[in-house]
Chain A
């Protein structure tokens, strides 16, 4: 359970102000803003200075970037989207199939319909389970109509499936139990100590932040995480490092935006 639900000023703002002067890489300006399209919902932020070396991060069901401090002994900042959770949202797959269904052969269409089905195992919530079952039923109908050669009905079935899929987006409360740090789920639970957890608002959206500790063989490190769920997509910003470099993380967090509609850069 979360310890605090508050709207008081974030401790990191105080920290950032306290550490803003004379902290090496922490005081260097951030790089120009970039927009990442890892999942349906884009995320925009300014990467940390080049001394934090960038790497792509594609593992553990997430897709994102990690910025590793050069010579920092494992200190890093990460920003990632939960790709596998986002894949449970079938809207994009259904929209794509509606566009293409007229040009597919019967065999291709049956295969694509199978791929458009939602995941039913391990539902996020009862609401998600109900929506997934309803989408499945609509796709069952579409398959039946495909086999009968009634393409006009297939399109209607897919429209219906899309409408149903659009009625549900997971919330932060629903996803948090799956994505927040839980030491007993880690390989070496004794390395993690949960600290101060709180609900807050960051980047204009509800967020969950936690200030924990990671005990590495060399030294204990601060372990900070911030979670959002925006447009049904879960995101995480994380930091593991020393107190001195913490402002770099919070400056990045302060630069995070979740563009929507016309606000999203189109290329």
Chain B
């Protein structure tokens, strides 16, 4: 049982520490990283740059990147297609076509090229004749794309690594030194450490997870591991992804 004077001292101490810069409670920052809505704590003293799909965190020569690497599941592809179709139906044809042409991500990157070509074939026919394509033709092409998503094999958590590593790591020069699964605020992350293939120097880390059909990747972009590993780990541990239902909604038609 704490004595009254102990409690008073504790309160005073807490008030004093709270008033100090750097001792006050750090507030998580709400961000949108591509399709992901999340909260994180920016490491103290680090600059934060919001580039939409990619957020950069910098201090001196060190740079961390948090990026949305695109669709990673059938659900993600279908959501993008539904959004594109919705744009088209609201009269924003150019935006809708751009949305389909920008459709990319792990699910498409890991699939055989012939399968991706076959998937886009109905849409290519529309693009070929885009000035004269009628509503029925475009609607049919959207329907064909939606059906086509079922042809892609869903990626397991482990197989997500392949496209992430292909995108983020120069595997001709580097190799995976270690990888492990982690659960952070309910999200299943895979953390990977890479190093130089020859010398095992120049260690670097990245972590990835799939949420709401899209891939989210935190990676060390620049700087030695030793000088940013603590911030990398702290940033990763602080990331709290909003549930898929609350993911960024499609902007209303203009």
In the assembled complex, A37 has its CB within 8 A of some CB on chain B: yes
Residues of chain A within 8 A (CB-CB) of B200 are 34, 36, 54, 65
* Closest residue of A by beta carbon distance from B114: A103
Chain A interfacial positions (CB closer than 8 Å to B): 34, 36-38, 54-58, 63-65, 103, 267
- CA of A103 to CA of B113 in the docked complex: distance in angstroms? 9
Chain B interfacial positions (CB closer than 8 Å to A): 112-114, 175-179, 196-201
Residues of chain A within 8 A (CB-CB) of B113 are 103
Main secondary structure of the interface of A (DSSP, over half): strand
B201 in complex: contacting residue of A54, A103, A267, CB < 8 Å: A54
Residues of chain B within 8 A (CB-CB) of A57 are 198-199
Closest 9 CB pairs of A and B: A56-B199, A56-B198, A267-B176, A65-B199, A34-B200, A63-B198, A54-B199, A54-B201, A58-B198
CB <8 Å contact, B178 and A267:
yes
Residues of chain A within 8 A (CB-CB) of B176 are 267
- CA of A55 to CA of B200 in the docked complex: distance in angstroms? 9
CB <8 Å contact, A64 and B179:
no
- CA of A23 to CA of B199 in the docked complex: distance in angstroms? 26
Q: Which of A34, A56, A103 has the most CB of B within 10 A?
A: A56
Shortest Cβ distance from residue A50 to the other chain B in the assembled complex, whole angstroms: 12
What are 17 residue pairs bridging A and B, where the CB atoms are less than 8 Å apart in the complex? Answer: A36-B200, A37-B175, A37-B197, A56-B196, A56-B198, A56-B199, A57-B198, A57-B199, A58-B198, A64-B198, A65-B198, A65-B199, A103-B113, A267-B175, A267-B176, A267-B178, A267-B179
* Closest residue of B by beta carbon distance from A53: B201
- CA of A8 to CA of B196 in the docked complex: distance in angstroms? 39
* Closest residue of B by beta carbon distance from A58: B198
CB <8 Å contact, A38 and B175:
no
